[in-house]
Amino acid sequence: MKAVVKTSREPGNVEYIDVPEPTAGPGQLVIKVRNAGVCGTDLHIYKSEYLINPPVVLGHEMCGEIVEIGPGVDHFKLGDLVTVNPSAGKTCGHCRFCQVGAPFFCIDRAALGSGINGGFAKYCCVRQGVVFPLPENLDDQTGALCEPFACSLQAVAELTLIEPGDIIAVSGPGPIGIMCAMLAKIRGGHIVLLGTAKDKDRLAIARQLGIDRTVDVENEDAKEIIDDLTQGYGADVVFECAGVEASSTVCLDIVRKMGRYTQVGLFGSPIQLNIDQVVLKQLHFQGSICHTWETWERTLRFLRKDLIDLRPLITKRLPLSQWEEAFQSVSNGKGLKFLLHPEE
């Protein structure tokens, strides 16, 4: 079968090549991939800015149909439409992080799409413990957005205190940033979404989705706008979702004293940041990465109740052979979520 493969640890070296079709071993399932989302992490992997184990099939945001069941699997049947927690592709199951339900931090972890083969292929083999039945109200395209939505939900709903009426700034109007903004809006915040001139179309989509205010930081003064909304105090909460040094600088500048700053975006390399502001403003400063098992349960309950519509975030669906177009579009900030699907 054809797959998008990272062939070495050097930057670039991603190819669309033939790989063997997987078979299900004990406790495993083979999923026929219907859709797999392109993520900013895939770009970091392309640039070799993320831990990888090449050669490895990329792709960790996926939805598909179970087509093979290995011995010992008892919770699924052929034809089930499912989504996957890719961060727990392989875990030890007994370290302190596994025991508290935080598999991303497992001392012997390998994620789908970076450590072990992922979903940019026709078939993907996974252990049954990371597979979730897709809520019946979700189609197989929206189903591929469950994983990035789980990342956003952890950042906004589990790790960051948000109170009704809070002024909340989200920097970076990519899929994760807009999901964070939508969730923060649901939790009662007044949302200001920050982007740049190239994000014009993304910011327009965010306004259509009900985001209160969007700001082009290249042509508008973000601090002045935030100060006007807050009588000069600053934003109660900021989420940095762009993974860009200038964005983090703006976030530190606009958050109020004793406010909350949550770092969601990955930079890919060290940056310069005035940490004195964290001290002098006495900020609650934290990072949010990936998700826990509890996050996944909450994510699927949330989506099952139709509390949010993720379909407007899907920009384009492309065959796997056109992966370079999708990667380039994401890299250039064009559109929002691109899905890849295997050719028959």
- Phi first, then psi, for residue 318 (nearest 5°) are -125, 150
Question: How is residue 199 written in tokens?
Answer: 């994000």
| CA angle (5, 88, 140) in 5-degree steps | 70
> Taking 90 as the threshold, does the pLDDT of residue 2 lie above it?
yes
Task: Specify the number of domains making up the chain.
Answer: 2
- Amino acid code (one letter) for 94: H
Answer for the pair 54, 9: CB distance below 8 angstroms, yes or no: yes
One domain for residues 58 and 164: no
What is the arithmetic mean of pLDDT over 47-66? Answer: 96
Classify residue 106 by its DSSP letter.
-
Q: State the angle between helix axes of 200-208 and 175-186 in degrees (0 to 180), rounded to the nearest 10.
A: 30
User: Tens digits of per-residue pLDDT, 81-113?
Assistant: 999 999 999 999 999 999 999 999 999 999 999
Q: What confidence tier does 215 reach under pLDDT thresholds 50, 70, 90?
A: very high
- Which of 271, 287, 303 is the last residue in one of the domains? 287
267 plus 311 within the same structural domain: no
Residues 34 and 108 in one domain: yes
- CA-to-CA separations, 250 to 47, 118, 168, 281, 312, in angstroms, rounded: 26, 35, 13, 14, 28
- Partners of residue 66 on adjacent β-strands: 31
CATH number of the domain bearing residue 330: 3.90.180.10
Q: Taking residues 333-338, what's their average pLDDT? A: 94
Q: What pLDDT shows up at residue 87? A: 96
Q: Is the pLDDT confidence value at 78 over 80?
A: yes
Q: Do 101 and 84 lie in a common domain? A: yes
pLDDT at 79: 97
Residue 344 has pLDDT above 90, yes or no: no
341 pairs with which residues across the strands? 319
Token pair in block for residue 59? 């792709």
Tell me the per-residue pLDDT of 123-152, one tens digit each, with 9 for 90 and over. 999 999 999 999 999 999 999 999 999 999
Same domain, 6 and 140: yes
Residue 254 burial by CB count (10 A; 0-12/13-18/19+): exposed, middle or buried? buried
Percent of the chain at pLDDT > 70 equals 100
Question: Of 246, 272, 287, at which residue does a domain stop?
Answer: 287
Residue 249 has pLDDT above 80, yes or no: yes
DSSP state of 116: B
Residues with Cβ within 8 Å of residue 179, at least 6 apart in sequence = 148, 149, 152, 153, 310, 313
Q: Does residue 45 carry a pLDDT above 90?
A: yes
Residue 205 has pLDDT above 80, yes or no: yes
Answer whether residue 163 shows pLDDT above 90.
Answer: yes
The H or E element that residue 338 is part of is strand 337-341
Residues 123 and 213 placed together within one structural domain of the fold: no
Q: 283 and 296, same structural domain?
A: no
Say if residue 265 is in the same domain as residue 281.
yes
Q: Residues with Cβ < 8 Å from 211, sequence gap 6 or more?
A: 178, 181, 182, 185, 191, 193
Query: Given this model, what pLDDT does residue 31 score?
Result: 98
Dist. CA 150–CA 141, nearest whole Å:
16
Q: Examine residue 238 and state whether it is found in any structural domain, yes or no.
A: yes
Note down the domain range covering 222.
160-287
What pLDDT is recorded for position 343?
85
Helix (H) or strand (E) holding 337: strand 337-341
Within a domain: 154: no
